[in-house]
Amino acid sequence: MRRISLQGILQSPTSMSTKTCWDDSMDVLIVGSLAYDSLETPMGSREDELGGSASYGGFSAAFHNRKNGGNGVALVGVVGQDFKSEHLEWYRNSGLEISGIEENEGETFRWKGSYHGDMAEAVTHETHLNVFESFQPKVPEEQTSPKVLMCANLHPSLQSSVISQTNVGRVSILDSMNLWIDIANQELRDVMTKVDILILNDAEVKMLAGDDNLIRAAESVLEMKQGGILVVKRGEHGVLAMHPEGIISMPSYPTRQLTDPTGCGDSFAGAMAQYLTQNSGEVSRNELAESLVHATVTASFTIENFGTERIRNLSNEEYEIRLSEYRRITNTS
């Protein structure tokens, strides 16, 4: 195993940061998958698009980090020897710290799928884990104390390992999926008690709880989690959040250009994570609601083009315009 430098040159782990050292209060650490996606939607097809939960979450968090003058976003993940130096440059140009990315012998994780109709669900055709199959996350020592930890979609045992390696300053966030509910149910139940915020989609909440009523299912999942916050992604229907101070419900942004839904949930989580770095102490209901506004607006851009292109090239001006539109729609200040 070797770590990746920001210049795409293989160097020793001590020589790969854009800074001489990271402040202990760096904003966000994201641990997740780095992948190449091949997909087909009603709007066209693409081969080997840069994807993975850490990529989408990272670009999203990095956008808000730059916009607000934050203190840095770092990625931890694994790629194969086929990973393109151009894509390392994309990370670097976004301001992401990538010294936590390992290059292992073999090929990068690959996913092939398609979307049809309203594109609410992806149809998976092929999954090749490749180097991701044996991935054991190792958080660089200088990145172990982030303000916010985002455990993106990984096997629950790996998420637990990451949590044990870190000393989080404010909030820990965990995302998961139906696969882990199916094949690693108890491990997921164990790890979700260790974090402050759990993110699932509506189908996953119902599956985990064994209840088709979303509110009852969400309450059951919170009981399993032993408190904290549950954020339920509902696709075109928006987001539902269960907070100790009360329920939050928000619509999605009414997107006219629907091209590729891949990574929208990860972009959503990345924006939320970065927003929550701005304060300290317990996350209030009002603060959570505001983070969900930014998460929703950010995700609405991701869906407008294939892969990470839209979120990577998002400008502050167009973001602020859409944010204002969304506030008018939802009557939020």
CATH number at 189 reads 3.40.1190.20
First-to-last C-alpha distance (Å) of the chain:
49
| Domain that includes residue 301, residue range | 2-330
- Judge contact between 5 and 15, C-beta under 8 A: yes
Could you read off the pLDDT tens digit of each residue along the chain, which spans 333 residues? 666 654 443 333 332 333 333 445 799 999 999 999 999 999 999 999 999 999 999 999 999 999 999 999 999 999 999 999 999 999 999 999 999 999 999 999 999 999 999 998 899 999 999 999 999 999 999 999 999 999 999 999 999 999 999 999 999 999 999 999 999 999 999 999 999 999 999 999 999 999 999 999 999 999 999 999 999 999 999 999 999 999 999 999 999 999 999 999 999 999 999 999 999 999 999 999 999 999 999 999 999 999 999 999 999 999 999 999 999 999 987
> Three-state SS for 141?
helix
DSSP annotation of 80: -
Question: How many structural domains are present in the chain?
Answer: 1
As given in the structure block, the two tokens for residue 163 are 């949590």
Furthest C-alpha separation in the chain: 52
- Judge contact between 3 and 102, C-beta under 8 A: yes
As given in the structure block, the two tokens for residue 239 are 């987001």
Q: Kindly compute the dihedral angle of the four CA atoms of residues 88, 92, 97, 101, in this order, to the nearest 10 degrees.
A: 0
